[in-house]
């Protein structure tokens, strides 16, 4: 049973049958880690902001996390049936109101305000997701955009104006792979009604250089921190690559990946802004780019923070390690893990609830209204941050009845203390009970 209204950042919202925000997530809306002095998320934000000149890029860091479905989805051209809109992926307050899933929810309103040639928005964002050391239902994004106005550039020549601005950006010497053609007819078309190929290519080049400079900055600071921790530290030369991507609100679109520790890490999404958004914002004479990046993952890499839950810790052994860094980025050091407390895992196996489809022609074909994120949410809402990860270890469909069963392994470990046996047993029992009550499963 859900409350009929909820108060979030001082405002009261009516809830309805769409409401699915657990209290641990609702409480996180007041934390604002990206604004907390000397917090690694805030430090990471500051470092990235420093690569975008204030005279061009206006920063917005205090937008409210509660937005409308129009702002989060419709205004950006998300189709009606986009999976991101599902209750299994997104926290809804009511049918029309949700916790933003990305900072892009504010694009239209900022383009409308037309207050600057560029902007940066940093904010907390919310997504229902799995439980492990790199996922948390609340994380932080920075969105950036840059536009040029046809009516204001010399001779109305956007391409020339963009190349001139690109010329003023610093250069770097890292290796960049960019193997794909600039446009792909279906996946990544030129917005040919609005841009010439030359304009879109210039905008893309400015976008790519601007973001490569961010990566260079982050990784040179990460390297300096590594050398401080170990003077003999040697790393491989930095390598980045641009990979084609898809977003409903940019075309063409890319993701930027960085080669790090033997893996390609996805750092951000970006592209040439869809002209419809600018037209709807009343600034159709402008054209430009936008990007969105995840601050938490970058902060983990920068400080070598091994578990995303640490960001939410109020433990001085965590927070004190970053003291003074907001005011002097040169003091940035790697995080030194405090002792790792023992882990303890427990399995839970259950049959999914079935609602056999109507009609006689579906023998054996049971319909399971099950989403894994619901299990994750039950675990988080009962045990909070003492669960390190939840993994599916077995899945089985009965050959005759068609019933499906799942076995999840829950790994209990506090970052701050040793859990007692009684405590883990108690939590596991409570989780088991909650799975039955809330998801209608049958324990095996």
- Under the rule (CB under 6 A), what is the footprint of ligand PHE? 102, 104, 143, 247, 250, 269-271, 290-292
Query: Nearest residue by C-beta to ligand PHE?
Result: 292
* Dihedral of alpha carbons 323, 324, 326, 331, sign: negative
Distance CA 351, CA 366 (A): 12
DSSP state of 153: S
Q: How far is the CB of 270 from ligand PHE (least distance, A)?
A: 5
| Minimum CB distance to ligand PHE smaller for 6 or for 277 | 277
| Minimum CB distance to ligand PHE smaller for 274 or for 309 | 274
| Minimum CB distance to ligand PHE smaller for 250 or for 354 | 250
| Minimum CB distance to ligand PHE smaller for 57 or for 291 | 291
Radius of gyration of the chain (CA): 24
| DSSP-derived 3-state class of residue 70 | helix
Q: How far is the CB of 129 from ligand PHE (least distance, A)?
A: 13
Nearest to 383 by CA among 349, 334, 340, 433: 433
Q: How far is the CB of 194 from ligand PHE (least distance, A)?
A: 17
How many residues in total does the chain contain?
A: 444
Is the Cβ–Cβ distance between 318 and 401 less than 8 Å?
no
| Minimum CB distance to ligand PHE smaller for 104 or for 286 | 104
Q: How far is the CB of 273 from ligand PHE (least distance, A)?
A: 7
| Minimum CB distance to ligand PHE smaller for 199 or for 255 | 255
Q: How far is the CB of 114 from ligand PHE (least distance, A)?
A: 18
| Minimum CB distance to ligand PHE smaller for 15 or for 253 | 253
Distance CA 286, CA 149 (A): 4
Residue 236 burial class via C-beta count within 10 angstroms: exposed 0-12, middle 13-18, buried 19 and up: exposed
Cis-peptide into 443, omega within 30 deg: no
| Minimum CB distance to ligand PHE smaller for 97 or for 104 | 104
Phi-psi region at 156: left, alpha or beta (left = phi > 0; alpha = psi -120 to 50):
left
Q: How far is the CB of 253 from ligand PHE (least distance, A)?
A: 6
The CA–CA distances, whole Å, from 14 to 4, 17, 86 equal 6, 10, 20
Is the Cβ–Cβ distance between 376 and 389 less than 8 Å?
no
Q: How far is the CB of 78 from ligand PHE (least distance, A)?
A: 11
Kindly give the pairing relationship between strand 118-126 and strand 57-60: parallel
Q: How far is the CB of 366 from ligand PHE (least distance, A)?
A: 34
């Amino acid at each position: 049973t859900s409350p009929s209204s909820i108060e979030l950042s001082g405002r009261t919202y009516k809830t309805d049958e769409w409401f699915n925000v657990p209290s641990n997530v609702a409480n996180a809306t007041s934390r604002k880690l990206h604004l907390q002095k000397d917090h690694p998320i805030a430090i990471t934000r500051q470092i990235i902001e420093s690569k975008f000149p204030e005279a061009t890029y206006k920063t917005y860091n205090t937008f409210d996390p509660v937005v409308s479905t129009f702002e989060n989805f419709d205004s950006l051209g998300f189709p009606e049936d986009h999976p991101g809109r599902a209750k299994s992926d997104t926290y809804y307050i009511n049918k029309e109101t949700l916790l933003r899933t990305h900072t892009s929810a504010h694009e239209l309103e900022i383009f409308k305000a037309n207050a600057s040639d560029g902007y940066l928005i940093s904010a907390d964002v919310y997504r229902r997701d799995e439980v492990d050391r790199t996922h948390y239902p609340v994380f932080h994004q920075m969105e950036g955009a840059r536009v040029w106005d046809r009516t204001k550039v010399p001779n109305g020549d956007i391409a020339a104006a963009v190349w001139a601005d690109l010329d003023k950006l610093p250069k770097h010497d890292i290796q960049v792979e960019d193997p794909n053609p600039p446009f792909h007819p279906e996946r990544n078309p030129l917005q040919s009604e609005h841009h010439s190929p030359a304009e879109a290519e210039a905008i893309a080049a400015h976008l790519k250089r601007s973001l490569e400079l961010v990566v260079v900055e982050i990784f040179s600071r990460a390297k300096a921190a590594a050398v401080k921790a170990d003077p003999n530290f040697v790393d491989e030369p930095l390598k980045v690559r641009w990979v084609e991507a898809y977003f409903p609100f940019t075309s063409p679109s890319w993701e930027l990946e960085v080669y790090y520790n033997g893996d390609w890490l996805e750092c951000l999404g970006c592209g040439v802004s869809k002209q419809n958004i600018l037209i709807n914002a009343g600034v159709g004479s402008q054209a430009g780019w936008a990007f969105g990046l995840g601050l938490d993952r970058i902060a983990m890499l920068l400080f070598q923070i091994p578990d995303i839950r640490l960001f939410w810790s109020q433990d001085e052994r965590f927070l004190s390690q970053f003291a003074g860094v907001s005011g002097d980025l040169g003091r940035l050091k790697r995080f030194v893990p405090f002792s790792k407390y023992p882990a303890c895992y427990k399995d839970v196996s259950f049959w999914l609830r079935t609602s056999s489809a109507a009609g006689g022609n579906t023998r054996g074909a049971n319909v399971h209204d099950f989403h894994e994120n619901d299990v994750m949410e039950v675990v988080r809402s009962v045990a909070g941050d003492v669960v390190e990860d939840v993994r599916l270890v077995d899945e089985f469909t009965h050959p005759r009845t068609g019933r499906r069963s799942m076995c999840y392994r829950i790994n209990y470990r506090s970052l701050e203390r040793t859990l007692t046996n009684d405590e883990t047993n108690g939590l596991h029992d409570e989780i088991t009970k909650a799975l039955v009550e809330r998801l209608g499963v049958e324990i095996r």
